[in-house]
């Protein structure tokens, strides 16, 4: 067997240049001189989206059937690395069976706003939780010899302008919040690849960000895999090579290949720089070659999907209506019970092996649709039918949530509200005196005006293909719910710290709240919330006692004081009230899910280490520990802190921060890194902006008209496609299947016309 170096030495220049871009939409090039075959990559992140025929990166065309595991929004509520690991192992096995070498995920972008259209693909508002759970998934997949692609690196937290936006984030917030989940996942999960994001960070596109891709990712964190672009995220190919970006996807990238060749010829790029990337790609291909095809069990994976979902649902309210009573009889209301929403729209959309709907699992219940499944609207007749279906029943199980058209890759929501029809339905049933058990299907927080009136409410997020059977097991009490919220449910959108600075019409997205994201903000401002980070009820109760804190561990006892077995997620938070710098009141630094039989008690020991106390110091350029009396809290949620103690920790007495958070520019020494408006149309100008010029209108007008005609509706696909194309930089247009598209020619034509007019 030849070594990587031997193979690279024997490769021709053509082979090397071909290898650094995709062969097509889903394959890498092979290395013919070394007999290495092309390998396949597919989405991700909650199952395999392998497209055998027509390809796309928005989940529009068919893909081969595979298990649709719960999307990250639900898996995150498990607070259990064991859950993400087992899902990862199963996904790895499906890759092995389908001869896919890399699955594109997990996505660990922080949920900065509840409105991000893609929140369902991400884990949490907290970097520690996101990083830990993603590490579990990565280890699971990679244990099968399959690569993962940790994405979208980095600060890609909204869909608006996702291809052309500029995330303006101060250094401390980047390090403590936005890069942290990547850091944990790289250090602990060790993914084979990382996918760079579309956006710019502080005015530098991720694909060409040497600081991000080399200094931080490789040199600081020790990443030794390869970096690929998100689909169409390449800006300047030669600069990207120097920055540490190895693979451009999709391919083939003919114009960029010519640019790389020219740069080698004129000496602006060295063969060593090219070889460094080629070496990383060849090493992975060699590893992938060793994996042998093997079938997987569809039944076993369906069960994995079910178990993962059942241990993640979050019980938000319960006055004893749940679990369902054996002697009770129930009505099932809401067309989402039949047309269940179990995954989000876009590139992660799986063609599931099978789907357990809710309605199928509750055949003995009377049923009424309650509202239109697509629009979410209700009518007097629908409500009357629902009331009739509840006559003589113990309670109504009412399924509400967001229809597909509300959340998708490509665009963000504009409100946190449920469809009015869903709210009206629930209110009407309650007004009739009917006990309501609400089941909530949505990929992100919504406002729940009826939350204090319903008798019980179970949040299922988007549950994957086994949603129905998992729900049955939890509603009937076969499984005791143990999920906890991986994000805050604010009372109002206006309370969210990114409010006013999220998905606006400005391509510069100012992260003015800095480190105060999610509960860090609500706690700092002492704001009331609907449900706090880490919250979730159980059918049993847990009592915490006997706290003891030493310099390297916290130990305490948890007792199940109720009548049934259950799992509890114990959470460790630390804070430094006397800090010399501004800091969150408390931050999650550890957690564990424990199982307790009824009446059983256990001693839990959570480790304490340096990472439990750090902040990012902008002068020493590293995570530092500040000396002081730390408050150590053990909680059943971030606001239900059951045990508290103090620990003195040695460290620096001179922590440094830059500026102050109330004055955003001061965090950047006065000058914000905004996009410079040159007035010229270049490869990074969006189609929408180019269309405002005469040249753009003439050259790109036909493409725009074709788009408008093909996607004239207000459905998910039309909104996604329009956002995609209009907000796309011109350099990405070739991916939209415009025939013989050349970026350079297009720019030249536009600018020629503009200079004449």
Residues that bind ligand BGC (CB under 6 A): 43-44, 57, 104, 151, 230-231, 347
Closer of 230 and 412 to ligand BGC (Cβ): 230
The CB-of-657 to ligand BGC minimum distance in angstroms stands at 33
* Cα–Cα distance for residue pair 49/450, rounded to 1 Å: 37
Q: Rounded to whole angstroms, how far apart are CA atoms 174 and 172?
A: 5
How far apart are CB 555 and ligand BGC at their closest, in Å? 41
Query: Which of 57/520 has CB closer to ligand BGC?
Result: 57
Could you tell me the smallest distance in angstroms from the CB atom of residue 682 to ligand BGC? 22
Query: With respect to ligand BGC, which residue has the nearer C-beta, 90 or 720?
Result: 720
How far does Cα 471 stand from its chain's mean position? 23
Q: How many CB atoms lie within 10 A of CB 439?
A: 27
Residue showing tokens 């789907």: 355
Shortest Å, Cβ 232 to ligand BGC: 7
- Could you tell me where the DSSP H helices lie in 290-353? 298-310
Residue 31 vs 201, nearer CB to ligand BGC: 201
Those residues whose C-beta lies under 8 Å from the C-beta of residue 302, and which sit 6 or more positions away, are 67, 353, 354, 465, 466
Among the residues of 380-496, which ranges form H helices? 380-389, 420-431, 467-475
> How far is Cα 518 from Cα 116, in angstroms, rounded to an integer?
13
CB of 352 to ligand BGC, least distance (A): 18
**Phi, then psi, of 754 in degrees rounded to 5:** -60, -35
The least distance separating ligand BGC from the CB of residue 49, rounded to whole angstroms, comes to 7
Q: Which is nearer to ligand BGC, 118 or 484 (CB)?
A: 118
Closest CA to 170 of 517, 674, 668, 676: 668
Least gap, CB of 694 to ligand BGC (angstroms): 31
Q: Which two tokens stand for residue 188?
A: 């602990």
CA distance 654 to 627: 9
User: Which of 23, 580 has the CB closer to ligand BGC?
Assistant: 23
Token representation of residue 408: 């998708």
Q: Which residues are within 8 A (CB) of 14 and not within 5 positions of it... i.e. 6 or more apart?
A: none
Q: 11-30 burial string, b = 16+ CB within 10 Å, else e?
A: beeebbbbbbbbbebbbbbb
Residue 244, CA distances (Å) to 232, 260, 382, 405 in order: 17, 14, 58, 38
Residue 546: other Cβ atoms inside 10 A: 12
Rounded CA-CA distance 120/723 in Å is 19
Residues assigned a catalytic role: 230
Answer yes or no: are the C-beta atoms of 656 and 624 closer than 8 Å: no
Residue closer to ligand BGC by CB (options 43, 626) is 43
Q: CA gyration radius for the chain? A: 26
Where do runs of H (alpha helix) occur along 492-642? 519-524
b/e per residue 32-58 (b: at least 16 CB within 10 A): eebebbbbbbbbbbbbbbbbeeebbbb
With b for 16 or more beta-carbon neighbours within 10 A and e for fewer, the 531-543 pattern comes to bbbbbbbbbbebe
Tokens of 282: 């060849």
Secondary structure element (H or E) that encloses residue 368, with its range: strand 366-368
Q: Pick the closer one to ligand BGC by CB: 177 or 728.
A: 728
- Classify each residue of 389-411 as buried b or exposed e, where b means 16 or more C-beta atoms within 10 Å of its C-beta: bbeebbbbbbbbbbbbbbbbbbb
Q: How far is the CB of 213 from ligand BGC (least distance, A)?
A: 17
Nearer to ligand BGC, 130 or 471 (CB): 130
CB of 14 to ligand BGC, least distance (A): 26
330 beta partners: 395
Q: How far is the CB of 410 from ligand BGC (least distance, A)?
A: 8
Nearer to ligand BGC, 184 or 735 (CB): 735
Least separation in angstroms between CB 597 and ligand BGC: 42
The residue whose Cβ lies closest to ligand BGC is 57
C-alpha angle 191/195/197, rounded to 5°? 145
Helix (H) or strand (E) holding 649: strand 641-649
Least distance to ligand BGC, CB of residue 344, Å: 12
158 neighbors 113 (Cβ within 8 angstroms): yes
Q: Roughly what angle, to the nearest 10 degrees, separates helices 467-475 and 298-310?
A: 50
**DSSP-derived 3-state class of residue 740:** coil
Judge contact between 728 and 736, C-beta under 8 A: yes
Name beta bridge partners: 103.
42, 148
- If the CB atoms of residues 122 and 516 are measured against ligand BGC, the closer one turns out to be 122
- CB of residue 198 vs ligand BGC: minimum separation in angstroms? 7
**Torsion angles phi and psi, residue 312, rounded to 5:** -120, -20
β partners of residue 66: 352
Residue 16: enclosing H or E segment and its boundaries? helix 13-19
Give the C-alpha separation, 429 to 389, whole Å.
11
Q: Which is nearer to ligand BGC, 44 or 566 (CB)?
A: 44
Nearer to ligand BGC, 156 or 637 (CB): 156
Helix (H) or strand (E) holding 680: none
């Amino acid at each position: 067997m030849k070594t990587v170096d031997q193979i690279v030495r024997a490769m021709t220049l053509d082979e090397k240049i071909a290898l650094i871009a995709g062969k097509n939409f889903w394959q890498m090039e092979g290395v013919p001189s070394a007999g290495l075959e092309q390998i396949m990559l597919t989405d991700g992140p909650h199952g395999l989206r392998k497209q055998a025929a027509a390809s796309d990166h928005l989940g529009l065309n068919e893909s081969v059937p595979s298990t649709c595991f719960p999307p990250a929004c639900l898996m995150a509520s498990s607070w259990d690395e064991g859950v993400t690991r087992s899902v990862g192992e199963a996904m790895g096995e499906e890759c092995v069976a389908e001869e896919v070498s890399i699955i594109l995920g997990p996505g660990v972008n922080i949920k900065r706003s509840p409105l991000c259209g893609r929140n369902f693909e991400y884990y949490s508002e907290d970097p520690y939780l996101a990083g830990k759970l993603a590490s579990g998934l990565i280890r699971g997949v990679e244990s099968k010899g399959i690569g993962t692609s940790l994405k979208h690196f980095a600060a890609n937290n909204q869909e608006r302008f996702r291809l052309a936006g500029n995330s303006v984030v101060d250094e401390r917030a980047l390090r403590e919040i936005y890069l942290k989940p990547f850091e944990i996942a790289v250090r602990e999960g060790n993914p084979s690849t990382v996918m760079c994001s579309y956006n710019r960070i502080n005015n530098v596109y991720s694909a060409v960000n040497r600081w991000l891709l080399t200094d931080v990712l490789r040199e600081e964190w020790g990443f030794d895999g390869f970096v690929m672009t998100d689909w169409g995220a390449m800006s300047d190919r030669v600069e990207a090579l120097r920055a540490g970006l190895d693979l451009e996807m999709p391919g083939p990238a003919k114009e960029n290949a010519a640019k790389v060749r020219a740069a080698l010829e004129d000496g602006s790029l060295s063969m060593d720089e090219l070889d460094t990337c080629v070496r990383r790609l060849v090493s992975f291909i060699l590893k992938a070659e060793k994996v042998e095809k093997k079938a997987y069990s569809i039944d076993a994976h369906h069960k994995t999907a079910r178990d993962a979902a059942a241990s993640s649902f979050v019980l938000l309210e319960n006055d004893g209506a749940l679990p369902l009573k054996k002697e009770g009889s129930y009505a099932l209301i809401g067309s989402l019970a039949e047309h269940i929403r179990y995954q989000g729209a876009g590139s992660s959309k799986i063609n599931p092996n099978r789907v357990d709907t809710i309605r199928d699992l509750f055949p003995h219940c009377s049923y009424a649709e309650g509202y239109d499944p697509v629009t979410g609207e209700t009518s007097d007749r629908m409500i009357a039918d629902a009331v009739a279906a509840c006559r003589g029943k113990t309670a109504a199980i009412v399924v509400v949530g967001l229809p597909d058209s509300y959340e998708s890759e490509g665009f963000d929501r504009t409100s946190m509200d449920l469809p009015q029809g869903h709210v009206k339905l629930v209110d009407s049933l309650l007004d009739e005196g009917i006990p309501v058990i609400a089941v909530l299907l949505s990929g992100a927080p919504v406002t729940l005006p009826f939350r204090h009136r319903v008798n019980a409410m179970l949040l299922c997020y988007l549950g994957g293909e086994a949603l129905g059977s998992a729900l049955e097991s939890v509603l009937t009490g076969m499984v005791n719910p143990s999920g906890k919220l991986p994000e805050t449910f604010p009372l109002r959108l206006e309370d969210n710290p990114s409010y006013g600075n999220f998905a606006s019409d400005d391509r510069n997205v100012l992260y003015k709240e800095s480190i105060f994201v999610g509960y860090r903000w609500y706690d700092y401002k002492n704001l009331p919330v609907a449900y706090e980070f880490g919250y979730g009820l159980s059918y049993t109760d847990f009592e915490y006692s006997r706290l003891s804190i030493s310099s390297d561990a916290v130990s305490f006892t948890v007792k199940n004081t109720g009548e049934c077995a259950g799992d509890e997620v114990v959470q460790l938070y630390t804070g430094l009230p006397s800090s010399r710098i501004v800091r969150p009141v408390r931050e999650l630094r550890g957690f564990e899910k424990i199982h307790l039989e009824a009446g059983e008690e256990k001693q839990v020991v959570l480790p304490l280490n340096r990472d439990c106390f750090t902040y990012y110091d902008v002068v020493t350029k590293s995570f530092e520990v500040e000396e002081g009396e730390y408050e150590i809290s053990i909680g059943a949620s971030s606001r239900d802190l059951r045990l508290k103690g103090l620990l003195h920790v040695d460290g620096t007495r001179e922590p440094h921060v830059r500026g102050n958070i109330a004055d955003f520019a001061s965090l950047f020494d006065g000058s914000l890194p905004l996009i410079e408006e040159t007035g010229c149309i270049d490869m990074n100008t969006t189609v929408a902006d180019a269309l405002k010029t005469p040249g753009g209108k003439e050259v790109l007008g036909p493409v725009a008209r074709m788009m408008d005609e093909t996607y004239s509706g207000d459905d998910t696909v039309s909104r996604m496609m329009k956002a995609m194309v209009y907000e796309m930089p011109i350099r990405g247009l070739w991916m939209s299947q415009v025939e013989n598209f050349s970026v350079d020619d297009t720019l030249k034509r536009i600018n020629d016309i503009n200079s004449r007019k």
